[in-house]
Amino acid sequence: MALPKRIIKETERLVAEPVPGIEAVPHEDNLRYFDVSIHGPAQSPYEGGVFKLELFLPEDYPMTPPKIRFLTKIYHPNIDRLGRICLDVLKANWSPALQIRTILLSIQALLGAPNPDDPLANDVAQRWKEDEPGAIATAREWTQKHAAP
Amino acid sequence: MAPSRSSRTSLQSVDLRALDYLASPSANLLCPICHSPLITPVQTRCLHTFCSACISLSLERSLTCPVDRKDLSHDDVTPAPIMITNLVNDLVVLCPNRERGCGASCARWLVESHVREDCGYALVKCAKDGCDGMVERKDVEEECVHEEVGCQFCELSVRRLDLDSHHRECPKLSSECPHCAESFLNPDLSIHIADCPAEIIDCPASHFGCPYTSPRSDIDAHTSNCHFVALTPILQLHTERITTLELENRTIRQKLELLTPPRPLPTPSSSTTISSSSNPPANDGSSTNRDMTSEMQDYTYHLYSEYEQLRADVERLNAQIRELDVKQDMARINEGLRYNDEMTGMRAAMNGLRMQLHWLVASRRETGAGSGGAGGGASRSVAGGSAGDGRRMSDSVRQVMKL
Amino acid sequence: MSKAKVPRNFRLLEELEKGEKGLGAESCSYGLDDGDDIMMSNWTGTILGPPHSAHENRIYSVRIHCSEQYPEQPPSVTFISRVNLPCVDQTTGAVDATKLPCLAQWRYEYTMEHVLVELRRSMGIPQNKKLPQPPEGSTF
């Protein structure tokens, strides 16, 4: 089966009208596999960082959500040490009306609004709750160390 | 007697979702799931429209509306108003055999019958009895192209279909060089063409304007006294310089445009002066005319800046709304997934216990088995091993907790 | 391209999740060596020796390395625990890929679990199950 029209259309639109601060480029040898980079949102500890991610559209996309993970190390209560992201719309709350574009925007929003009550990286979330300024400082440090553009 | 062309139906299936449309259809007619113009449109109780196949697939996984997430069951899906169905069926599509050469386009509801019955480029069964091959409908009355025939020059046998392309590269055949008309065996031809002395080539400085062309064998004589060739290094340098200057010029112009303040510029009013001075009788009124124009322009710029301000306001509001949306989303995530998370935690803890039990049983067995002097060393390393394993286990348990 | 080809990293994440949730075979387990290794290259597996053999009640650890080319290329597997098997090099513990069918005829769909299960199976086949084994708990 050839690449579904929807994936072709989404890719074309991502290239033609990119979302500000977000880039997604498909691999030449696998058009379902994207290299993504997201700029840390302003006024967040991730500001100034450029975070690399990888995204894969499984066989039954858009009936199942895209698989996505951070490749750049990031200190965030909802992102674990392997870059896996805890975001409802990537799991139970996925809807086939969502798109790569909307998902990447949600991830960018998650960077701007960490959510320590719904943690994936337990120790980070714990610290975020007990010592938020300290945690934010670490997040900023990690951004400078690992996500410098 | 060969069956007539029209009586052969093509079994080629048409994937409606892969069709290309003559004009890009209105976004209102696209299915929110497959992003193609609706195919057999249906409507939900919450008044959203989808392709019938798309919403069925989606409902198999989640009984909610993909657009507003309201609860939805198969019974809440009914055919969409006939008008929508007609609108999408009337969209003009290009024939799916376009790449093979069919230039036809027709309304979407006709495209299947076009491929099945008319399209000369659709694949139909070969007319020869016992042949399972497929040919394009326009070629069906020709000889069967799937029969293997021997190449008359080399010992290979190829399908009649491929004979032409084979002849072009058959190693026993020679082809003529397009430049010197000499014949070469196919494998040697490409080597020869790359430096055929008879090929007419341009002077190496042709892009600087030298009009000279000659066979490759004579070009050296020309280049040794061609003025253009002699000047090439300098011309090259100049071209590069001009390119950098152009680039610089463009950036400077962009900067200038950014810096130019949005207020009346002298150019439009001076053009008014020119037009009025070219019209002597109106000369008296030219000064009032100019005042009026500049006043009008002032007013326009005032309006323009106000408009800009309003637009900026709207953008700011938009951003605020988006931000609120995100915050709301996050709150929802909390609510919805907390339970989920607790469950995962519990499952992980159970898994951890299971593993620990497993290891305990295993190590008890080991200590039971180990005995005497030989057991000393073994049990020590076992203990070391299981301590290491224990660390790893708790690690993996910790990882599970994070799920 | 008939089916969507799962890229290496997402494939390894799938395997990791399967291992973490304990959904795999009962007798084998595996996990990441370093939970911070974003490339997920080095793994440790354990094999519970098959019953009715010299391996009964023994637990073997193996190191598994997944290269950049995994799963196009098979992983390389090395025993940490000493074991006497025809496919295992007796000085280094490395598994000879040519002597283990699933490594020799590696396919894209195969996983690390496949390899562990097959190693365990080779411990239990008639010609191997009575092989004299080094003392339990010794390592290469």
pLDDT tens digits along B17-34: 888 898 888 889 999 999
Q: List helix spans (H) across chain C.
A: 8-20, 101-104, 112-124, 126-129
- In the set A86, A120, A121, A125, the catalytic residue is A86
The predicted pLDDT at position B34 comes to 92
The predicted pLDDT at position C76 comes to 94
What residue segments make up the domains of chain B, in order of their start?
16-140, 149-194, 203-257
Least confidently predicted of B128-137, B205-214, C130-139: B128-137
Of C31, C61, C138, which is closest to B396 when you measure between CB atoms? C31
User: Rounded mean pLDDT of B326-332?
Assistant: 86
Query: Of all residues in chain B, what percent carry a pLDDT higher than 90?
Result: 23
B:C CB pairs within 8 Å: 49
The predicted pLDDT at position B184 comes to 80
Of A1, A59, A69, which is closest to C13 when you measure between CB atoms? A69
Quickly state the pLDDT bin for B83 (edges 50, 70, 90): very high
Q: How distant is the Cα of A5 from the closest Cα of chain B, in angstroms? A: 6
The residues, any chain, with a CB within 8 Å of residue A93's CB and separated by 6 or more, are: B69, B333, B336
Quickly state the pLDDT bin for B178 (edges 50, 70, 90): confident
Residue B66, pLDDT > 90, answer yes
Residue of B nearest to A77 (CA): B402
The predicted pLDDT at position B257 comes to 81
The residues, any chain, with a CB within 8 Å of residue B120's CB and separated by 6 or more, are: B102, B136, B137, B138
User: Rounded mean pLDDT of B302-312?
Assistant: 88
Neighbours of C116 (CB within 10 A): 24
Q: B16-140 in CATH: which number?
A: 3.30.40.10
Chain C residues whose CB is inside 8 A of the A3 CB are 1
A44-76 residues labelled b (16+ CB within 10 A) or e (exposed): bbbeebbbebbbbbeeebbbebbbbbbbbbbbb
Q: B321 — contact with chain A (CB < 8 Å)?
A: no
B128-152 residues labelled b (16+ CB within 10 A) or e (exposed): beeeeebbbbbebeeebbbeeeeee
B38, B31 contact by CB (below 8 A): yes
Q: How distant is the Cα of C36 from the closest Cα of chain A, in angstroms? A: 5
Q: How distant is the Cα of C31 from the closest Cα of chain B, in angstroms? A: 7
User: Rounded mean pLDDT of B55-71?
Assistant: 93
Residue of C nearest to B362 (CA): C57
Chain B residues whose CB is inside 8 A of the C32 CB are 396, 399
Quickly state the pLDDT bin for B381 (edges 50, 70, 90): very low
Cα angle value B80/B85/B91 (rounded, 5°)? 150
pLDDT in tens, B226-267: 888 888 888 889 999 999 999 999 888 888 887 776 554 444
Q: A125 — contact with chain B (CB < 8 Å)?
A: no
The residues, any chain, with a CB within 8 Å of residue B279's CB and separated by 6 or more, are: none
The predicted pLDDT at position B289 comes to 60
| pLDDT, chain C, mean | 89
Distance CA C78, CA C61 (A): 9
Look up the pTM and report it.
Answer: 0.62
Helix (H, G, I), strand (E, B) or coil at C32: strand
Chain B residues whose CB is inside 8 A of the A117 CB are 334, 338
The predicted pLDDT at position C68 comes to 93
The predicted pLDDT at position B376 comes to 43
The domain made up of B149-194 is a member of CATH 3.30.40.10: yes
Residue A98, pLDDT > 90, answer yes
Closest by alpha carbon to A5, among B146, B21, B141? B21
User: Rounded mean pLDDT of B125-145?
Assistant: 75
Residue B221, pLDDT > 80, answer yes
Chain C residues whose CB is inside 8 A of the B385 CB are 61, 137
Token pair for B129: 């009895």
Q: How distant is the Cα of A84 from the closest Cα of chain C, in angstroms? A: 9
Quickly state the pLDDT bin for B369 (edges 50, 70, 90): low
CB contact under 8 A, A120 and B403: yes
Determine the straight-line distance between the first and last CA of chain C, rounded to whole angstroms: 43
Is A86 assigned a catalytic role? Answer: yes
The predicted pLDDT at position B73 comes to 92
A:B CB pairs within 8 Å: 79
Residue B81, pLDDT > 50, answer yes
The predicted pLDDT at position A1 comes to 52
C-alpha radius of gyration, chain B, whole number: 40
Q: A146 — contact with chain C (CB < 8 Å)?
A: no
Strand C76-79 vs strand C28-32: parallel, antiparallel, or unpaired? unpaired
Residue C73, pLDDT > 80, answer yes
Distance CA A135, CA A141 (A): 10
Phi-psi region at C78: left, alpha or beta (left = phi > 0; alpha = psi -120 to 50): beta
Of A1, A33, A61, which is closest to C7 when you measure between CB atoms? A33
Q: C35 — contact with chain B (CB < 8 Å)?
A: yes
Neighbours of A143 (CB within 10 A): 25
The residues, any chain, with a CB within 8 Å of residue A122's CB and separated by 6 or more, are: B398, B401, B402
Q: How distant is the Cα of C18 from the closest Cα of chain B, in angstroms? A: 11
B39, B51 contact by CB (below 8 A): yes
User: Rounded mean pLDDT of B364-381?
Assistant: 56
| pLDDT, chain B, mean | 78
Neighbours of B353 (CB within 10 A): 11
Q: How many residues make up chain B in this entry?
A: 403
The predicted pLDDT at position B154 comes to 77
CA B52 to chain CA centroid, nearest Å:
26
- Per the model's pLDDT, the better-predicted residue between B10 and B386 turns out to be B10
Phi-psi region at A131: left, alpha or beta (left = phi > 0; alpha = psi -120 to 50): beta
Chain A residues whose CB is inside 8 A of the B64 CB are 95
Which of B399, B402, B403 is the best mutation test for C, with the most CBs of C within 10 A?
A: B399
Strands (E), chain C: 28-32, 42-48, 59-65, 76-79
The predicted pLDDT at position B262 comes to 56
Residue of C nearest to B380 (CA): C137
Of A30, A59, A81, which is closest to C7 when you measure between CB atoms? A30
User: Rounded mean pLDDT of C83-87?
Assistant: 91
C11, C71 contact by CB (below 8 A): yes
The predicted pLDDT at position B287 comes to 54
Element (H or E) spanning A34, and its range?
A: strand A33-39
C17, B396 contact by CB (below 8 A): no
C-alpha radius of gyration, chain C, whole number: 15
Chain C residues whose CB is inside 8 A of the A30 CB are 5, 7
Residue B391, pLDDT > 60, answer no
Chain A residues whose CB is inside 8 A of the B345 CB are none
Residue B375, pLDDT > 50, answer no
Q: How distant is the Cα of C3 from the closest Cα of chain A, in angstroms? A: 7
pLDDT in tens, A35-78: 999 999 999 999 999 999 999 999 999 999 999 999 999 999 99
Of C1, C3, C6, which is closest to A56 when you measure between CB atoms? C6
Domains B16-140 and B149-194 share a fold: yes
Q: B376 — contact with chain C (CB < 8 Å)?
A: no
